[in-house]
Structure 1
């Protein structure tokens, strides 16, 4: 089972982090491990998470936006 630590400013000090277990990993359907194309995944956590100053959601661009 994987765990994620959120809200860290120093990876060596997890005392102030919020941690959650990962319940499910959803890989991109076109992920290619030989060249890491589409190397993104969604993590479903085992319990809800409160957003804080250091824990925020990812903002995704609208569909069909140009890639940079």
Structure 2
């Protein structure tokens, strides 16, 4: 929604004076901001998933590390 865009978007996206007058330009700026948000969330999600996998692998292999060989 536009309210979220004007509240959360960085100034370089919402600082355009024509933004209030041109709905097409406003929509393009909103879509650019949403794309930025999605990329950011995907990056965070990927890192979290990687950490969880590493933790799972470490916990799975931990009992085997204590077996005398």
TM range (shorter): under 0.3
Q: Whose Rg is larger?
A: 2
Higher strand share: 1
Given the two structures, how large is their TM-score scaled by the length of structure 1?
A: 0.21
Given the two structures, how large is their TM-score scaled by the length of structure 2?
A: 0.21
Higher helix share: 2
